Copies of this chain bind each other. A is one copy, B any other.
Amino acid sequence: MAGNKNRREHRHATMADVAAHIGVSRQLVGLAFRNAPGVSAETAARIFAAAEEIGYQPNLAAQALRREGSKYIGVAYHTSHSSTEELLPAIYKEAESRGYKLVLSAISHDRDDQEAINEIIGHRCDGVILISSSLPISRLKKLATSIPLVSLSRRVSGVNCGVVASKGESGIFDAVKYLISLGHEAIAYVDANEMFDHEFRLQGYKTAMKDAKLKPSIKTISGDYIESAGAEAANLFLSAGELPTAIVCANDQIALGLAYAFQKAGVKIPKDVSVIGYDDTIARLPFLDFTTVHQDAVELASAAVSDLAERIEGKKSKAETYLTSAKLVVRSSTAKPR
């Protein structure tokens, strides 16, 4: 009895409370909140005023349970990737404009992709966006059969999902071409073989070098979005004796680590070595001002959400790839060769 009363006291306001407060039916409050026809303007105003007064907030669990579609999009992402910092807000905005709410599910050392996805499915999201997911293709295929799916920043093939990523090969290609136009010939590339889509960026480098009949020089490092990997690469170059005149890195974080290690060793950027990154996340910070390849978070988010929305609405279900622009942004970490 006491427990029951206690519960009543501490529970949040419901539509019924709002309705009772102004003497209308619960259903009418529902209509008003859904902007459905059949509510007089005057009554609607009273309903919203009452809701505000009692502090009513719709119960999302009840909505998701009852509605045909939950109107949720699940997003599984890594907390440690700097590129998601910009991606998430952009996805929020894009999803909201289409009437979707987001269910965020973090992936980290202690929480793998599958756990993150299970939670999303538990929320009965209408669709899922996986950012840089490391899920094996076989699981992705299976997942795609049970829920609309978009793989963001990881290009997969043979899976019936949307794929959205920036066109790494052309971004890196342009970067190398630019260096060549500056007069560089000894252009090295730092490849991060644990990073998704690294092979496309690498390919852009190889193609550009081949086109110019230059000898490629590739340093492959482990780790993905890790500054220390970049520093490690820098030390490889330093200990090898012969320093290239320009170095292209698979992403900004690697470029930062590399640049930092170089500066520390007295190697000046861009005077001694030109450095280019990829992503335009930290590269854009004024103190770094690195030349990099810009990956537009808004464009990526927009493409991912709109593709997913079409899948949710049943307009498509087959594999489809959308590669967003990857534009070279020239800043102050590049100059003519020494």
Contact = CB atoms under 8 A, between A and B. Distances in A.
Interface string A83-114: 01110110011000000010111101111000
Contacts of A43: none
Contacts of A139: none
A89 B108 contact: yes
A92 B78 CA distance: 13
Interface stretch (A51-59, A150-158, A182-190): A51-59
B89 A101 contact: no
A122 B57 contact: yes
A47 interface: no
Given A88-B106, A106-B104, A119-B101, A62 B65 contact: yes
A118 B227 contact: no
22 contacts: A55-B146, A57-B121, A57-B122, A59-B124, A60-B124, A61-B61, A61-B64, A61-B65, A80-B85, A88-B108, A89-B108, A89-B110, A92-B106, A92-B111, A101-B119, A104-B104, A227-B282, A227-B285, A228-B287, A260-B263, A260-B288, A264-B269
Contacts of A222: none
Classify chain A: how many residues form its interface, as a range. Answer: 35 or more
Top 3 A-B pairs, shortest CB-CB distance: A231-B287, A89-B108, A104-B104
A287 to B, nearest CB: 3
A90 to B, nearest CB: 9
B228 A285 contact: yes
Total identical chains: 2
Interface string A264-303: 1000010000000000001001111000000000000000
A255 to B, nearest CB: 12
A287 B260 contact: yes
A104 B72 CA distance: 13
Contacts of A60: 61, 119, 122-124
A184 B10 CA distance: 57
Given A68-B7, A89-B109, A287 B257 contact: yes
A70 interface: yes
Contacts of A129: none
Contacts of A257: 285, 287
Contacts of A111: 89, 92-93
Contacts of A79: 84-86, 88-89
Contacts of A121: 12, 57
Interface in A216-252: 226-228, 230-232
A29 interface: no
Given A61-B61, A65-B65, A287 B230 contact: yes
A64 B260 CA distance: 49
A128 interface: no
A230 B288 CA distance: 11
